[in-house]
């Protein structure tokens, strides 16, 4: 049938009966059938409602069913009761199958659509585990979501310690641990692995194995944990993958293993093309020439928003940065009134406080906060993790009407919407990854509710010019390689990545220094003592690092010497001897930020200090002083201030990176009146995360540790601690290991009586803490 026939109602009852029969015979595996159901429910709801209860039984969504009203429903109800008897849970057939296989086998790899109920399955695995669990995810964005959900799940059980890093702490008060990490943090596990009792490794979004360097690191971690803990269960999950068994084949996991591909659907999709905010229905599953497209004769998106629906717009990061998304989608933004719900306002205020934004229009005005006040959020990889966590909480609480997001949403983050609008069709990677990311994204369309006897569906909007490519990708399958990249040649790898590649392949990491053995050897052999001594002499005053302001106040020659010393130390661990102009520029910008970090400055303080420098606060104060003395008029002061240009600051990028450019976060000659505070927030986080934490911290800390080992200069160990932890205070380092941030340490520190690997003991004063603070330490009591 054509779309027009579903809409007009020709033979609709026959169609729905045919679909139900096929689902009964073949299972709910055909996306086209679910598209038909979505159209019928949308345009013929009364007729559809007569079959909706039966449909929930046949799809296997037993948690949404009521008492059976027919023989076939009775049969499926018995099936549901059998599953509940065997597993003790009201699982769907997919969940029950995966649950059984996980319990029966050591290795299990499976593929399932986004709406398959994987989250509930994981919830039950976590709740019923008796020992430690390690959950490995592809991104730190996904860590924040898991952390929030797992802590909420176990909020009443203080005997389970949930951490996003590897530490064996609170041992006297902890029965088991759950670590949520990326493959990069997995190296930390091997130093304490035999002190733990890991019963389950859960590798979520395991298709990361297809990526180049990260895929090698992932596979290396999998093989190492299997070699050391062969009896621990290893579960691999993927979305929309044809051959999940490849994840086992590539590692030789043949005995006591199983795999499954679950194609079961539970949510319908209706697809629309868009041009100039006009829409047409189309189907990627009905291949006609020309492709049938039926005009939508009403304001579909507007009506959904007015009916309290939600909209996700997948957009390029550049449109978020330049603000053009506000202009492009003003029609829908205007439909979102200010939020009055106190819980939502509290989340917004918490985010405003975290980034240091002003409450009213001013120098630190945040458009991101302005949008959020109206239930409109942005979500991308350069947002601080804590900010993303707050935004995801805001969305999942139902406060967000519109979300503008980049590729972070394709990394498994569970944020469903009524409508997914794909405005940006540029997906990264090879065709396999592009297809996978697209399917992951459209999986966000249609919120799977728990409403009884209710079939859910969502909308996917594609720009008209991309419909052809969209249909091609929808019909193409995605497969995993059966050969690990660990078993392939690295001769073609660029020089910046050769160290890590060889170390992954040969298992030659120095777990203590967090570098490869070849990098540690280079640092040990390098002639960098003069540079280290210069930094120790000039960076530490009375064993405390100088301030960022002290650094800026150094004369040009001294500041150049400091930069040169850091550059010499950093480059010594690399295979190359020279940094490009872009790399050197990124390193230069990172030095004062590193100083603020090692002084324990909060995120908002670091942003504020950068803001003061980039907008030349000293020059502004001079102008204001002259105006107050009546030496110049207010208009002259405003004109002088407008002539102050934003200082250049190179955009953050991970190091080493030969393609790094010197482009600034703001165009040259931009007036401070045009300063965008949100862009500074994003760039500051990128420097703290991508440059300092991921690129500089380990090699610099290793260099000072090696120097201390050779020369027994306590200053080197002091600076190493500042670089590694942001402090040299032993108590603060312990609190950091326990998972507290510097903002929290400030008020927690006076409450600590004793702290070690086994436990942290607080004073009686904790009883006087407000609930929000008490909750943070309660899990350690």
Query: Do the Cβ atoms of 778 and 771 come closer than 8 Å?
Result: no
CB-based contacts of 342: which residues, under 8 Å, 6+ apart? none
532 HSE (CA, 13 A, CB side):
30
The pLDDT confidence band at residue 388, using thresholds 50, 70 and 90, is confident
Please give the mean pLDDT across all residues of the chain.
90
Give yes or no for residue 410 having a pLDDT over 70. no
Give yes or no for residue 308 having a pLDDT over 60. yes
pLDDT of residue 309: 93
Do 738 and 701 belong to one domain? no
- Rounded-to-integer distance, Cα 207 and Cα 155, Å: 31
Q: Compute CA 746 distance to the chain's CA centroid, rounded to the nearest angstrom.
A: 27
Give yes or no for residue 207 having a pLDDT over 80. yes
Do 571 and 683 belong to one domain? yes
Do 698 and 762 belong to one domain? no
695 located within any domain: yes
Tokens of 683: 């760039």
233 HSE (CA, 13 A, CB side):
23
517 located within any domain: yes
Do 120 and 257 belong to one domain? yes
Do 673 and 585 belong to one domain? yes
pLDDT of residue 355: 95
The pLDDT confidence band at residue 490, using thresholds 50, 70 and 90, is low
591 located within any domain: yes
Query: Do the Cβ atoms of 153 and 779 come closer than 8 Å?
Result: no
Q: Which of 90, 120, 150 is the last residue of a domain?
A: 90
pLDDT of residue 413: 60
User: Collapsing DSSP states into helix, strand and coil, what is residue 37?
Assistant: helix
CA angle, residues 4, 6, 12, in degrees to nearest 5: 140
Give yes or no for residue 412 having a pLDDT over 70. no
DSSP character for 659? T
pTM for the predicted model, two decimal places: 0.89
Give yes or no for residue 146 having a pLDDT over 90. no
Give yes or no for residue 72 having a pLDDT over 60. yes
The pLDDT confidence band at residue 411, using thresholds 50, 70 and 90, is low
Number of domains in the chain: 4
578 located within any domain: yes
418 located within any domain: no
Written as one string, the DSSP assignment of 553-597 is HS-HHHHHHHHHHHHHHHHTTSS-S---HHHHHHHHHHHHHHHHH
Kindly state the percentage of the chain with pLDDT values over 70: 98
Query: Do the Cβ atoms of 365 and 357 come closer than 8 Å?
Result: yes
Q: Which of 199, 229, 261 is the last residue of a domain?
A: 261
- Rounded-to-integer distance, Cα 400 and Cα 397, Å: 8
648 located within any domain: yes
Q: What residue numbers bound the domain in which 151 lies?
A: 93-261
457 located within any domain: no
Encode 199-267 in three state secondary structure: EEEEECCHHHHHCCHHHHHHHHHHHHHHHHCCCCEEEEEECCECCCCHHHHCCCCCCCEEEEECCCCCE
What CATH number corresponds to the domain at position 112? 3.40.50.300
Q: Which of 50, 71, 90 is the last residue of a domain?
A: 90
Query: Do the Cβ atoms of 103 and 91 come closer than 8 Å?
Result: no
pLDDT higher for 715 or 775?
A: 715
Tokens of 752: 């600590």
Query: Do the Cβ atoms of 43 and 1 come closer than 8 Å?
Result: no
pLDDT in tens, 82-126: 999 999 988 999 999 999 999 999 999 999 987 778 888 999 999
Do 97 and 85 belong to one domain? no
- Rounded-to-integer distance, Cα 519 and Cα 526, Å: 10
Query: Do the Cβ atoms of 691 and 586 come closer than 8 Å?
Result: yes
pLDDT of residue 449: 84
Do 577 and 711 belong to one domain? yes
Find the range with the poorest average confidence among 74-88, 452-466, 483-497, 719-733.
Answer: 483-497
Looking up tokens 């053995």 gives 517
Instruction: Compute the Cα dihedral for 265, 267, 268, 274 and give only its sign.
Output: negative
Among residues 626, 625, 612, 623, the alpha carbon closest in space to that of 672 is found at 612
Do 521 and 539 belong to one domain? yes
pLDDT higher for 172 or 214?
A: 172
Give yes or no for residue 549 having a pLDDT over 80. no
Strands of the sheet with 402-405, listed across from one edge: 294-295, 278-282, 267-275, 456-463, 419-422, 311-314, 402-405, 376-379
435 located within any domain: no
Do 224 and 257 belong to one domain? yes
Do 571 and 653 belong to one domain? yes
Among residues 722, 675, 728, 686, the alpha carbon closest in space to that of 701 is found at 722
Do 127 and 5 belong to one domain? no
pLDDT of residue 443: 86
Do 656 and 584 belong to one domain? yes
The pLDDT confidence band at residue 381, using thresholds 50, 70 and 90, is confident
pLDDT of residue 577: 87
């Amino acid at each position: 049938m054509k779309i027009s026939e579903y809409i007009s109602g020709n033979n609709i009852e026959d169609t729905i009966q045919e679909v139900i029969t096929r689902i009964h015979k073949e299972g709910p595996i055909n996306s086209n059938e679910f598209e038909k159901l979505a159209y019928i429910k949308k345009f013929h709801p009364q007729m559809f409602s007569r079959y909706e209860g039966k449909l929930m039984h046949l799809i296997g969504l037993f948690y949404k069913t009521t008492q059976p009203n027919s023989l076939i429903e009775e049969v499926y109800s018995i099936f549901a009761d059998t599953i509940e008897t065997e597993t003790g849970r009201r699982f769907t057939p997919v969940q029950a199958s995966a649950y059984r296989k996980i319990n029966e086998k050591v290795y299990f790899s499976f593929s399932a659509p986004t709406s398959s109920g994987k989250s509930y399955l994981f919830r039950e695995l976590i709740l019923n585990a008796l020992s430690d669990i390690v959950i490995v995810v592809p991104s730190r964005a996904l860590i924040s979501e898991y952390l929030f959900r797992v802590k909420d799940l176990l909020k009443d059980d203080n005997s389970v310690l949930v951490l996003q890093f590897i530490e064996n702490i609170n041992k006297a008060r902890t029965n088991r641990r759950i670590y949520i990490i990326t493959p990069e943090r997995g190296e930390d596990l091997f130093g304490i692995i035999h002190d733990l009792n890991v019963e389950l490794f859960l590798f979520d979004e395991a298709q990361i194995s297809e990526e180049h360097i990260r895929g090698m690191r992932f596979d290396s971690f999998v093989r190492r944990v299997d070699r050391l803990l062969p009896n621990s269960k290893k579960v691999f999950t993927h979305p929309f993958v044809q051959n999940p068994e490849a994840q086992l084949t590539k590692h030789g996991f043949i005995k006591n293993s199983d795999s499954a591909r679950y194609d079961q659907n539970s949510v319908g999709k209706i697809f629309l093309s868009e041009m100039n905010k006009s829409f047409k229905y189309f189907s990627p599953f009905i291949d006609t020439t020309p492709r049938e497209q039926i005009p939508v004769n009403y304001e579909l998106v507007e009506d959904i928003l007015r009916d309290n629906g939600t909209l996700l717009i997948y957009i390029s990061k550049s449109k978020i940065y330049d603000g053009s998304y506000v202009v492009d989608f003003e029609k829908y933004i205007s439909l979102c009134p200010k939020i009055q719900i106190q819980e939502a306002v509290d989340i917004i205020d918490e985010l405003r406080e975290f980034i240091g934004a002003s409450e009213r229009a001013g120098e630190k005005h945040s458009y991101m906060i302005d949008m959020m006040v109206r239930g409109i959020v942005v979500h991308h990889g350069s947002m601080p993790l804590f900010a993303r966590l707050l935004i995801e909480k805001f969305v999942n609480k139902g406060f967000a009407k519109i979300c503008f997001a980049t590729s972070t949403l394709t990394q498994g983050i569970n944020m469903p919407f009524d409508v997914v609008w794909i405005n940006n069709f540029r997906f990264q990677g090879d065709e396999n990854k592009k297809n996978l990311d697209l399917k992951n994204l459209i999986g966000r369309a249609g919120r799977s509710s728990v409403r009884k006897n209710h079939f859910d569906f969502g909308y996917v909007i594609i720009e008209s010019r991309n419909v052809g490519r969209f249909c091609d990708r929808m019909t193409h399958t995605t497969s995993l390689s059966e050969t690990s990249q660990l078993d392939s040649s690295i001769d073609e790898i660029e020089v910046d990545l050769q160290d890590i590649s060889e170390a992954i392949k040969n298992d030659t990491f120095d777990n203590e220094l967090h570098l490869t053995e070849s990098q540690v050897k280079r640092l040990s052999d390098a002639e960098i003592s003069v540079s280290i001594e210069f930094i120790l002499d000039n960076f530490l005053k009375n064993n405390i690092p100088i301030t960022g302001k002290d650094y800026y106040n150094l004369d040009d020659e001294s500041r150049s010497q400091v930069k040169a010393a850091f550059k010499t130390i950093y480059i010594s661990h690399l295979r190359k001897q020279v940094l490009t102009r872009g790399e050197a520029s990124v390193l230069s910008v990172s030095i004062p930020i590193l100083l603020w970090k090692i002084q324990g400055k909060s995120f908002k303080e670091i942003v504020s200090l950068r803001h003061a420098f980039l907008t030349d606060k000293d020059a502004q104060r001079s102008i204001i002083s002259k105006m107050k003395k009546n030496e110049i008029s207010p208009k002259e002061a405003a004109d002088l201030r407008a002539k102050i240009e934003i200082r250049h600051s190179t955009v953050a990028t991970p190091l080493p990176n030969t393609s790094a450019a010197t482009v600034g976060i703001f165009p040259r000659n931009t007036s401070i009146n045009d300063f965008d505070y949100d862009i500074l927030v994003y760039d500051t986080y990128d420097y703290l995360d991508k440059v300092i934490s991921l690129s500089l911290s380990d090699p610099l800390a290793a260099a000072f540790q090696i120097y201390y080992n050779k020369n027994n200069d306590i200053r080197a160990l002091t600076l190493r601690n500042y670089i590694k932890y942001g402090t040299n205070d032993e108590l603060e380092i312990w609190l950091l290991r326990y998972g507290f941030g510097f903002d929290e340490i400030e008020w927690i520190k006076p409450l600590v009586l004793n702290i070690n690997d086994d436990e942290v003991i607080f004073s009686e004063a904790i009883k006087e803490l407000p609930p929000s603070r008490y909750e943070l330490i309660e899990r350690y009591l």
